[in-house]
Structure 1
Amino acid sequence: MTARPPLPYDGRHVLVDFHGCAARLDDIGLVKRALRDAARVADATILDLNLHHFGDGQGVTGVALLAESHMSIHTWPEHDYAALDLFLCGRRHDIDAALAVLAEAFAPAEIAKRTIARGYGVAALVE
């Protein structure tokens, strides 16, 4: 059996921390719109969008299941903090545009971002 050559780079996985968010992180409607808009500008296909609100004044957790992978968010309004996980496969998807939409929606004072290259034959690249 002949070994197949490795597949090329096929995606990016971005882990993001939003600190000092000015937006209402307990607003499930805002979180839903932000995830939908982020997927749209990235040219990704939403298969399902599932969110859970933990109660009055508490956070929201949500995931957009995408044909191209996923986007998720977990919010802590008591700390003005949100943790995001964006993973898109395929070079045609604009993960930076998705992140810009999310940053506009939640208005963080500070953004910490780590990017990991994903795919067969790709050594882990963390920015």
Structure 2
Amino acid sequence: MQGLHLTADLYQCHCEAAWLTDASRLGEWCVKAVEASGLQAVNQLFHTFPATPRGPGGVTATVLLAESHVCLHTWPEQRAVTVDVYVCNFGGDHSLKARTLMATMIERFQPEWTEQRSLDRGDGQA
């Protein structure tokens, strides 16, 4: 179960507002970004939450990968996004592809600052 789990919290994103509120647009782009990074999408689910008194609803976008998953959650009222990229490295090391995908995700949202973490998963034992 060896793998790499990357997370990023993106703050004060300067992207177009639609990237934070339009599940279809964001989802389609996520699938293309996954494929461009060399990972394989096997299923997806994109959901826009209803508006609240604080503003438009955010989006959850999840792409299931043959290698594991990528998931984004947006908070348009805060211009914030969380990104989670996890790849298992069974059968090959997908770490570079995961890092490439994360960089693409961050670039899309144009945050003023990010908090990123990287976690090696599993102990490498069969």
**Could you tell me the TM-score, scaled by structure 1's length?**
0.80
State the superposition RMSD in angstroms.
Answer: 1.9
- Contact 1:37-1:98 within 8 A present in 2 as well: no
Please give the residue correspondences for 1:1-127 in structure 2 after superposition, counting only pairs within 5 Å. 10-23=2-15, 24=17, 25-56=20-51, 57-90=56-89, 91-93=93-95, 94-121=97-124
**AA aligned opposite 2:32:** D
Give the total of aligned pairs. 114
Provide the C-alpha distance between the structure 2 equivalents of 1:61 and 1:81, rounded to a whole number of angstroms.
12
Cα deviation for residue 77 of structure 1 reads: 0.3
Is the deviation greater in 112-121 or in 71-80?
112-121
The structure having more radius of gyration, on CA atoms, is 1
Gaps of 5+ in 2: none
Question: How high is the sequence identity, in percent, across the aligned residues?
Answer: 29
Gaps of 5+ in 1: 1-6, 123-127
Q: Secondary structure at the match of 1:79?
A: coil
- 1:2-23 Cα shifts (integer Å, max 9, x gaps): xxxxx8xx32101110111112
Provide the C-alpha distance between the structure 2 equivalents of 1:17 and 1:67, rounded to a whole number of angstroms.
24
Provide the C-alpha distance between the structure 2 equivalents of 1:109 and 1:33, rounded to a whole number of angstroms.
24
Deviant stretches of 4+, over 3 Å? none
